Amino acid sequence: MGCSQIIEVYETEDISIRKLAQRFQVAKSFIQKLLKQYQETKDISPKIQGGSPPTKLQGEQLIALIEIIESNNDATLVELCDLLQEKTGIRVSRSTMGRITLQLNYSVKKNSSRSRKRKRKSSEKAI
């Protein structure tokens, strides 16, 4: 069974979409989508599937991020997001920053600056 056969039968015979689907043992929705695509484009080849969206950071922004990471090696992901936004105007989420740093093979501390300051103050009090 080929899609071209379905189109040929549809055009040559007086047959409903439901009967056509039963005849070729496919879903009615498949026939509807196939006919719609054929009527709009006169082409029944499969459409291109998926693909990932373009990355948010390109060339210069990626270089800027590397510079930020190297000059702030103790910054958290959230802090890196803030620094990147200040420098480039592009805002990325913490999880996106985590993926980017993994791809760049950089490790980032998990502690936030507030918790580091709290730890420093509590250790100073103990001394």
Whether residue 96 sits in one domain with residue 63: yes
Q: Which of 81, 11, 63, 21 is nearest to 42 (CA)?
A: 11
Dihedral sign computed on CA atoms, order 31, 34, 36, 42:
negative
Q: Is residue 51 part of a domain?
A: no
Look at residue 17 in the predicted model and tell me its pLDDT.
92
User: What predicted TM-score, i.e. pTM, was given to this entire model?
Assistant: 0.45
Q: Which domain holds residue 73?
A: 59-113
More confidently predicted of 9 and 127: 9
Q: Is residue 49 part of a domain?
A: no
Q: What is the pLDDT of residues 4-44, one digit of tens each?
A: 899 899 889 989 999 999 999 999 999 999 999 988 888 88
More confidently predicted of 117 and 61: 61
Look at residue 32 in the predicted model and tell me its pLDDT.
93
User: In whole angstroms, what is the distance from residue 99 CA to residue 28 CA?
Assistant: 42
Look at residue 53 in the predicted model and tell me its pLDDT.
75
Whether residue 106 sits in one domain with residue 64: yes
Q: Is residue 34 part of a domain?
A: yes
Whether residue 33 sits in one domain with residue 64: no
Look at residue 18 in the predicted model and tell me its pLDDT.
94
- Burial bucket for residue 20 (CB in 10 Å: 0-12, 13-18, 19+): buried
More confidently predicted of 55 and 64: 64
More confidently predicted of 124 and 34: 34
Tokens found for residue 114: 């507030």
Domain count, the chain: 2
> In percent, how much of the chain has pLDDT > 70?
83
Tokens found for residue 97: 């920053």
Look at residue 106 in the predicted model and tell me its pLDDT.
77
